[in-house]
Structure 1
Amino acid sequence: MWLLPVLFLLVVQGHFSTCVQRTVRGTAMGTLTVHCTYGRGWESYKKWWCRGYEWDSCKILVKSTGSEQLVKKGRASIQDNHSRRIFTVTLEDLWYDDADTYWCGIEKAGNDLGYKVYVDVDPASGGCCTPGPWSLPSTSRGG
């Protein structure tokens, strides 16, 4: 496994996080946004966001097409910006179960490239809420 040799900039609801742990925080019932930057040359490759502690068993939640087109699958979406070399992952209607280990990644021949991101979910302001009836769709990571 090769870790993505690029700088990842993680942004959650307007707050920048560049800490070594690569942990991002969201609020229950809110929207989590993660910006992953990559180096020159990877612009046309497919980007993905997967969930799971282990690299080889994580499940892809959403994958780009290699273009800048927005791709949405369930509550997750991904959009690439080639000129800025950033792909943005968004998870809507965040819930406590979404707290987990995720990966920003780039699909390539052989082993994919990726970087681990920890997601924590804080309580919504004004108290708790009831769990939503949704779940995140997933597919095999492949690669």
Structure 2
Amino acid sequence: MEFLLLLSLALFSDAMVMDEKVKSGVELETASAVCVYDAYYKDHTKYWCRGYFRDSCNIIAFTPNSTNRVALKDTGNQLIITISCLVKEDTGWYWCGIQRDLARDDMDFTQLIVTDNREDRANGFSSDPSGNRTRSCRASKAVQKAEGSRMSILIICILITSLGIIFIISHLSRGRRSQRNREVTGKSISRNPQASQGPSMVSITL
């Protein structure tokens, strides 16, 4: 009976349904999507992925995991996706999916369009009047930029230190070779003392 129920759900129903096919968002703000699914799949893994084609979309996160900007919440019959600190590069096609054992994963899509928030500021409109979210996103970007700068400085310091160590080792090696050559030359001279003397003068008395 359970197998027949699963088969009927797989063949005759949409296990995952997106709430809206087109969503809009503003830079530095938050966008959300709600995917409703049959409660039969409450214990199945769900995911959020990006790409125009469902079979080749790049999975961003699986439940119950989240990322820095994408949060997934599974309520038992809904998958709620929240994307924070939007940027224009987030514009694209997204899919919510549910993994199924005896059938192809059921998925549904939405198109996210992120617009520039400069027009909204010029019109005096903001979806976050307090500006807390905007400041938080900017602070997060500033922190990421600072971390990137620190990493670049650290890499440069490591390179300079490595070059310095290589130079010191090379200099010491040349010094040791020079000292060894002088020792070899000194030993050669001590073994052949006549080599360092001039030609001897022999006087002949007639």
Q: Fold-level match, TM-score > 0.5?
A: yes
Compute the TM-score of the two structures, normalised by the length of structure 2. Answer: 0.49
Higher relative contact order (CA 8 A, sep 6+): 1
Answer yes or no: is 1:79 the counterpart of 2:73: yes
- CA deviations on 1:52-84 (whole Å, 9 max, x unpaired) are 00111100111104xxxxx321311101001xx
> Is contact 2:17-2:107 (8 Å) kept?
no
Amino acid at match of 1:123: D
Q: Partner residue of 1:35? A: 34
Unaligned segments of structure 1, at least 5 residues? 11-16, 66-70, 135-143
Q: Aligned-pair RMSD on alpha carbons?
A: 2.6
Q: Greater strand share, 1 or 2?
A: 1
Q: Select the structure of larger CA radius of gyration.
A: 2
Rounded to whole Å, the distance in 2 between the matches of 1:102 and 1:73 is 16
> 1:117 corresponds to which residue?
110
Q: Partner of 1:90 in structure 2?
A: 82
Cα 1:57–1:7 shift into 2, 3 Å: closer
SS at match of 1:8: strand
Cα distance in 2 for partners of 1:72, 1:106 equals 16
2:134 alignment counterpart: none
Letter aligned with residue 111 of structure 1: R
Alignment gaps of 5+ in structure 2 = 1-10, 123-137, 145-206
Cα separation, 1, equivalents of 2:50 and 2:29: 19
Choose between structure 1 and 2: higher helix proportion: 2
Q: How far, CA to CA, are the matches of 2:25 and 2:108 in structure 1?
A: 19
Does 2:55 align with 1:56? yes
